[in-house]
Amino acid sequence: MANVYPVFRRCLLHHRTQAYLGAVGHGYCREFKHDSTHQTEGNGQKRRYLMYTAVITTTTLASICINHYVEGRKKCLQIESPVETEHAGQYKKSLPVYTLEDVAEHATKNDRIWVTYGQGVYDITDFVEEHPGGDKILMAAGGSLEPFWLLYAVHKNPHVFALLEQFRIGNLKEDESSDILSNMEDPYELEPRRHPALKPASVKPFNAEPPLQLLVDSFITPSDLFYVRNHLPVPEVDPETYSLEITGVGVKTIFLSLHDIKTKFPKYTVTAAVQCAGNRRSEMSEVKPVKGLSWGPAAIGNATWSGARLYDVLKAAGLEEDHPGVEHVQFEGLDTDAANLPYGASIPIEKAMNRKAEVILAYEINGEPLPRDHGYPIRVIAPGIVGARSVKWLGRIVVTGGNSSNSHPSNSNAM
């Protein structure tokens, strides 16, 4: 329970301070109405009242904070629990045994597409065309799913495993399945540390929200309690070598360093809320099954963001208003998938080139540098647009006639 302390202390100090100031202020108002004869007796009563209030407040807040911590850890443990995976890929005596060489011979539709998971061998040929990520699952054709599912760990759930087992055709030779696991590295091993109060909707990639009681405690959401929405491992970006490319229709291709963005453009600050498209999805799922992570009501945050206006950056690259053929501005992040394709999204040019829209390339949140989970060193903040468009770890801006073809927002943020 040692990790409970920072959450409890933060919660407790704030609320005890408010309770104390409120009680003391009330006491002082009453005190001025009494003469000195009753002051000593009144002070004793006030001290007893304040002590009683502090005990009740402390006990209540301790219960709330510890409860949220425990519930968050329970959810995390449930996600990582081996119970979900105990039947997937286990050896089945009734099925034939194949080698990795056998599996490698089945890498195309003509030869049937085979993959492995654990000790299981699967023929997924008939599944590929129906799968929304069929092009990505083909990267595992003739080999193991495990390196890809380390990256897309959201697949590790009972529904997916049950579906996979329907395509089971055999077992992988035992020593070869062990070799696959021993040669794999965890792409999430360098993830940043997170606040223990955050309640995970998934661990790899990390997606989590704060307890609702802590979220509404302040108009400005502290950065360490801001909900986290990641699609892939958090990239490590060196600020000294960071470079942002601006290219496309109507602009000259330029590259800006972090120093350029901070010094060549006016610093603009906007207070804006960012909300995940899936916020409160868990409530929708109670009505009917809904695709995506099971978010509660706190996948939203309000912060003060500072950075360069997108309008100023695009103007510096030579873009003029009403340039023919320009309809969208695409953003690409530095977080990439197994095919080395970045997360991306776009906004309409009317939004991008509207100074009043306050779209910025942010490098600060609440007066501090962006944390890694929130896009360090540069992220897009597009007020009034779903959070999926506020691309983090921004690496490239493309001015174009079409919106982003990136599949992540549409596949991961369905309502």
238-288 pLDDT, tens per residue? 999 999 999 999 999 999 999 999 999 999 999 999 999 999 999 988 898
Q: Which are the contacts of 305, defined by CB distance < 8 A and separation ≥ 6? A: 269, 270, 271, 272, 360, 362, 364, 365, 381
pLDDT surpasses 80 at 134: no
Bridge-based pairing of strands 342-348 and 360-365 is unpaired
Higher pLDDT, 65 or 236: 236
pLDDT surpasses 70 at 368: yes
382-399: b or e for each residue (b if 16 or more CB lie within 10 Å)?
bbebbbbbbbbbbbbbbb
Q: What percentage of the chain's residues is helix, strand, coil (to nearest 5)?
A: 40, 20, 40
Which phi-psi region, left, alpha or beta, contains residue 19 (left: φ > 0; alpha: ψ -120 to 50)?
alpha
% of the chain exceeding 90 in pLDDT: 60
Q: Quote the pLDDT of residue 192.
A: 97
d(CA 189, CA 249): 39
Higher pLDDT, 406 or 307: 307
* Lookup: tokens for 192: 């940043």
pTM of the model: 0.70
* Lookup: tokens for 221: 């959401």
pLDDT band at 403 (very low <50, low <70, confident <90, very high): confident
* Lookup: tokens for 15: 């609320």
Least confident among 114-118, 264-268, 314-318, 330-334: 114-118
Q: Quote the pLDDT of residue 133.
A: 62
Q: Quote the pLDDT of residue 53.
A: 44
pLDDT surpasses 70 at 141: yes
Bridge-based pairing of strands 328-336 and 342-348 is antiparallel
Q: Quote the pLDDT of residue 132.
A: 61
% of the chain exceeding 70 in pLDDT: 75
Strand partners, 208: 200, 228
Burial degree of 201 (CB within 10 A; 0-12, 13-18, 19+): buried
pLDDT surpasses 90 at 328: yes
d(CA 400, CA 51): 65
pLDDT surpasses 60 at 391: yes
Q: Quote the pLDDT of residue 393.
A: 99
Q: Quote the pLDDT of residue 154.
A: 72
Q: Quote the pLDDT of residue 226.
A: 99
Q: Which are the contacts of 287, defined by CB distance < 8 A and separation ≥ 6? A: none
230-241: b or e for each residue (b if 16 or more CB lie within 10 Å)?
bbbbbbebeeee
DSSP, collapsed to helix, strand or coil, labels residue 69 as helix
d(CA 242, CA 396): 11
Backbone angles phi and psi of 278, in degrees to 5:
-90, 10
Mean pLDDT, range 333-350, rounded to an integer: 93
Q: Using DSSP, how many helices (H) and how many strands (E) does the chain show? A: 14, 18
Higher pLDDT, 219 or 86: 219
pLDDT band at 129 (very low <50, low <70, confident <90, very high): confident
Q: Quote the pLDDT of residue 230.
A: 97
Order of all β-strands in the sheet with 342-348: 254-257, 243-248, 394-400, 328-336, 342-348
Backbone angles phi and psi of 96, in degrees to 5:
-70, 165
Mean pLDDT, range 176-191, rounded to an integer: 81
Query: pLDDT, tens digit, for every residue of 18-52?
Result: 443 343 333 333 333 333 334 444 445 545 444 44
Least confident among 65-69, 318-322, 380-384: 65-69
Mean pLDDT, range 199-206, rounded to an integer: 94
d(CA 379, CA 353): 17
Least confident among 62-71, 124-133, 237-246: 62-71
Strand partners, 380: 361
**Mean pLDDT of the chain, nearest integer:** 81
d(CA 270, CA 42): 49
d(CA 136, CA 138): 5
